[in-house]
Amino acid sequence: MTTKKPWLSWRNAIIALIVIGIAAYGAHRFLAPPPAPEFVTSLVKRGNLEDTVLATGTVKAFKEVTVGSQASGQVKSLKVGLGDIIKKGDLIAEIDSMTQQNTLRTDEAALLNVQAQLQAKQATLKQAELAYTRAKGLLDQDAGSREDYETAEATLATTRAEIAQLQAQIVQAKITVDTAKVNLGYTRITAPMDGTVVALVTKEGQTVNASQTTPTIITLARLDQVTIKAQISEADIPRVKPGQKAYFTILGEPDKRYKTTLRAMEPAPDSYTSDSSTTTSSSSTTTSSTSTSSAIYYDGLLDVPNPDRKLRISMTAQVRIVLADAQNALTIPAVALGEKTPDGDYMVRVLDDQGMPSPRKVRIGINNTVSAEVLSGLAEGDKVVLSEASTTAKTDNRRMGPPPMHM
């Protein structure tokens, strides 16, 4: 009779347990139902929403004037400094006026000379009139010759013509004197408007020559109100129009909004030149190809008060022109919107009480591609599905097997 060894029974039992464990693991892994899907959601909530056009702008003076000199000479005194706030009519500078004063004196003397000649000629006229009257009386009485009468008549006519000539010369001389006075006035340069001195171009003691071009003395700008010149892309031009609300920020105060309105849109871009039509066909073709290869921007003008002079010329402004806005509106992320229906609504997926998504039709108002305004179809607190979370677990490519057995 053969006796079975006990250690072989234990070995067979261990192997059986291992086989049963592997089978249970495989059944759990491959026969168990898949896990329920998970979703990335967002709550329908209330908030402020706006659709805007973004543009980069530059601060410009509301009005800027280059003050120059129409008189030539040395700048004897400069009455203003950089940054000074001056009023209309204030004295800015004085030019050496000796030449203009001498010219005025000469012209006034010439006027007096012509006026004296007129007085003398008027006396001669009176004498000519008496001679003519006498000659005519004698001729009527056959006591004088016709030759004497005709001579007296010609002298009278000539004298009257000379008086008319002198009167015209007096008018001309007066105009010359007035012009000399104006030229003398040019040596005193005054402010044409209220403003701030933003540039001092000419220094005291410098000689200016106005014979060819008007030399600039200072640049005067009105800064109590400034204009923002915003570059608006041609793609946004159909959506903007004067009168729309706008606001902007500056780099030094990114959290402060300066509110204003779009005053005007310039009809042509800065790159436009009025003489483009006079170029040759070849150059026009080159210009056209160059223009189409670069972006085109049109300038929008926005005015804003600047009483504290905080906004300065050439500052950069980030401008937003408001196309539409809504306060305390129901909003959802724009990515939650599905297909657009023929009637203009959108389809979204909303989680129910069991956490399962169901389609729902909603009507949308403002949509700025980040958030969308919900006009109907959703209630505050609803959960809309943005996307489905990935539930696929990473698997090991190695084949699983029973642990090694040790004999």
Please give the pLDDT value at position 161.
Answer: 92
pLDDT at 3 over 80: no
User: How far are the Cα atoms of 159, 174, 339, 358 from residue 111, in angstroms, in the given order?
Assistant: 20, 7, 91, 102
pLDDT tier for residue 141 given thresholds of 50, 70 and 90: confident
pLDDT tens digits, residue range 313-352? 999 999 999 999 999 999 999 999 988 888 989 999 999 8
Please give the pLDDT value at position 303.
Answer: 96
The backbone torsions φ and ψ at residue 209, rounded to the nearest 5 degrees and listed phi first, read -125, 115
Per DSSP, the chain holds a count of helices (H) and strands (E) of 4, 17
Cβ atoms within 10 A of the Cβ of 189, count? Answer: 24
Please give the pLDDT value at position 290.
Answer: 39
Q: Residue 307 in 3-state DSSP?
A: coil
Please give the pLDDT value at position 104.
Answer: 94
Contact (CB, 8 A) for 387 and 336: no
Please give the pLDDT value at position 287.
Answer: 37
Please give the pLDDT value at position 150.
Answer: 82
The arrangement of strands across the sheet holding 73-78 comes to 188-190, 91-95, 73-78, 207-208
Q: Is the pTM of this model over 0.85?
A: no
- Average pLDDT in the chain: 83
Contact (CB, 8 A) for 208 and 95: yes
d(CA 226, CA 192): 18
Contact (CB, 8 A) for 82 and 134: no
Say if strands 195-200 and 216-233 run parallel, antiparallel, or are unpaired: antiparallel
Tokens 């329908």 locate to: 44
Please give the pLDDT value at position 184.
Answer: 93
Query: For the chain, which domains are there?
Result: 39-51+326-389 (2.40.420.20), 97-186 (1.10.287)
Contact (CB, 8 A) for 250 and 315: yes
Please give the pLDDT value at position 320.
Answer: 96
For residues 96-117, average pLDDT: 94
- Would you call 322 exposed, middle or buried from its count of C-beta atoms within 10 A (0-12, 13-18, 19+)? middle
Say if strands 371-376 and 357-367 run parallel, antiparallel, or are unpaired: antiparallel
The b-or-e profile of 49-84 (16+ CB within 10 A means b, else e) is bbbbbebebbbbbbebeebbbebbbebeebbbeeee
Q: Residue 297 in 3-state DSSP?
A: strand
Contact (CB, 8 A) for 303 and 286: no
d(CA 123, CA 135): 19
